[in-house]
Amino acid sequence: MNRNYSFHGNNHHEMELAHGKLHVYANEEIFQSFHSNMYEMADNNLRIPRNQYMSYTPDAHIGVGTCIGTTAVWNMRDGCVSPSIVGDDIGCGMRVHTTQLRKQDIQDKAVRRDLIAAIEKYVPTNERTNTNYADIEIMNVVRNGLKGLPARYIPDAQWLTHVEESTFSYDHAYLEQLPPKIRRNAHGQLGSLGGGNHFIEIQVLEISGSQKHLAAQWGLFDGQVVVMIHSGSRAWGAMLGREYNRILKQAMHLWGVSNPDPNLIYAPIASQEGQTYLNLMYSALNFAVSNRHMIAFGVQEGFREVFGSGLQMPVLYDLMHNYALQEFHRNQPMLVHRKGATRALPPKHFMNAPAYKATGHPALIPGSMGTSSYIMVGKEEGLKNFYSICHGAGRARSRKATKELVTVDQFQQSLKVGTEEEILVNHPSLQTILDECPQAYKDVDQIIDSIVGASLAEVVAVCKPMAAIKGI
C-alpha cells in the first residue's frame, strides 16, 4: 500500500494513505514500532464516506475492524456511525477514587491482603458470579444512568457530578428492539468487574512537581492512596454490539456497500439502522458508568471493613474510552468515535463537567500490573486531535503470544514478588492471568512521553501500584 508521511514536530506524523489522511501521535520509538497492517486497517476505515478526521494515539494496536487507539470523526449532518470504531465493550472506561490514607497505612502486606479479600466480598471477580443488588432495576439504569440507581447507592452528590455524564439521554423507545436475552444476561452483572484487562488497583500517588497546585485543587497529594477501576458495560454492551454488527452488516449488503475488511461495519447516521445503533449505544453507556459506580460502591464497603465505617472515598473522575458521542467542533456538531482513546479537555473548555470547568478534568490513563498509571490534564493544543489522548499502555503482543513468550518467573519479577514492595494480586496462581502481565503491554512511559511531547496533555500525578484485583 502506498503511504507517505510528513512530520509536523511534537510527535505528530501525518500519513498520506490511499483513501485519506491518518494522523499519528507518537515519539520516534513508538512510531517505528507500528506495523504495516495498522496502516492497511486505517486505510480501510478511511474508505467510509465523508470522514472528517482520523488518528492513532501511541497505544494503538490491531483490533477487530479498527485499531484500538483510534479517533475518527464524521459530521452529524451527513456522516456515518461505525460499531467497529466503538468496539464491543461499549462505554468501557476508567474511574478513580481518592482516600485520606497514606502509603504507610497500606505498606504492610497483611493489610493489603485483607483489603483484597474484603473487596472481593462485594465485587464479583468471577464471570459466573452475580452481584446481589436485588433492589436495582436494570431497565431504570439503562434508561437513566446513575440517576436510575436507588438513593442508598449514592454516598454523596459528588458521585453524580464528577463524571463525564451521569445520564446519556436518548429515545427509550428503541429499547423495545432489543432481544430479551440481552436483558437476561445482563441481570446481576451490575457492579461486577469482568475479565480480560479489567481491574481494580490500589495505588499510591507521586505528584508532578510542575502540577502541585492543580493536584491540590483536585484533592491529590504525595503518598495518597487511591483506587483505579477499569470496567465497561459487561453483557449489555457486548451483546448489543454483536447484535448490531450483525444487523448493520446485513444492511450494508442490501445497500451494495462493501469494504476490503468484512469486520468493518458502518451505516449513515441518518439511516434507521444508524439511529437505532446510536440510541441503543447510549443505553450501554448508561450501564457502563453505573457499573463502575457500583464497583466503586463495593470497593468502598471493602475499605470500610478494614479501616472503619467512617472512611470516605470521594470520586475524582469517571470517563470512557469506547464510544461515539456528538460533540461541537469547528462550530458544528460532529460524531467523534473513540475506540481505546480518552477525551482530555483543557481548562475552561465548555464541554468540561461543571466541577472541572476551570481546571480541565482528570484524564485517567492505566498502565499495567507492575507499571505506573497516570492522571493527566488536557491542553489547548489537543484541539488538533479533537482532544483525544491514549487510553492506556496498549498491547504489544497478543494473549496467545504472551503465554508463549513470557514465563511466570518473569511475571513474578515484574511484580517484585518476595520483596517489601511486592505488588499483591488476588490470584494465588499467576499462570491464570499471565496474558495480562506487564510484558504483554507497551512501555507506558514511552506512551506518556509521546502524549506530552505532542502537547496533547500534561502529567498531574503518577500512580504506583500496590495491589491489583483482576477478574477471570
Could you tell me the CA-to-CA distances from 222 to 96, 160, 346 in Å, in that order?
A: 16, 26, 23
pLDDT(259) > 60: yes
- Active-site annotation holder among 12, 172, 391, 427: 391
Mean pLDDT of 226-247: 95
Mean pLDDT of 348-369: 96
pLDDT digits (tens, 9 = 90+) for 63-89: 999 999 999 999 999 999 999 999 989
Mean pLDDT of the chain: 95
pLDDT digits (tens, 9 = 90+) for 318-343: 999 999 999 999 899 999 999 999 99
Q: Residue 3 has what pLDDT? A: 66
pLDDT band at 38 (very low <50, low <70, confident <90, very high): very high
pLDDT(185) > 90: no
Question: CB within 8 A of 117, min separation 6: which ones?
Answer: none
pLDDT band at 126 (very low <50, low <70, confident <90, very high): confident
**Cell digits of residue 27:** 515519539
Rounded CA-CA distance 236/182 in Å is 6
DSSP calls for 402-467? HHHH--HHHHHHHTTTTSTT--EES-S-GGGGGGGSGGGB--HHHHHHHHHHTTSEEEEEEEEEEE
In this structure, are strands 373-378 and 199-207 parallel, antiparallel, or unpaired? unpaired
Other beta carbons within 10 Å of 429: 9
Q: What pTM was computed for the model?
A: 0.96
Domain coordinates in residue numbering, the chain: 4-93+111-196+231-306+318-363+388-395
pLDDT band at 184 (very low <50, low <70, confident <90, very high): confident
pLDDT digits (tens, 9 = 90+) for 424-434: 999 989 999 99
Q: Residue 127 has what pLDDT? A: 81
Q: What percent of the chain has pLDDT over 70?
A: 99
For residue 101, give the H/E element and its range: strand 93-102
Mean pLDDT of 15-19: 97
Q: Residue 464 has what pLDDT? A: 98
Mean pLDDT of 367-396: 96
pLDDT band at 2 (very low <50, low <70, confident <90, very high): low
* Cβ atoms of residues 296 and 95 within 8 Å: yes
User: Is 391 noted as a catalytic residue in this protein?
Assistant: yes
Q: Residue 9 has what pLDDT? A: 74
Q: Residue 1 has what pLDDT? A: 56
For residue 260, give the H/E element and its range: none
**What is the architecture, at CATH level 2, of domain 4-93+111-196+231-306+318-363+388-395?**
Alpha-Beta Complex (3.90)
pLDDT(207) > 80: yes
- 283 beta partners: none
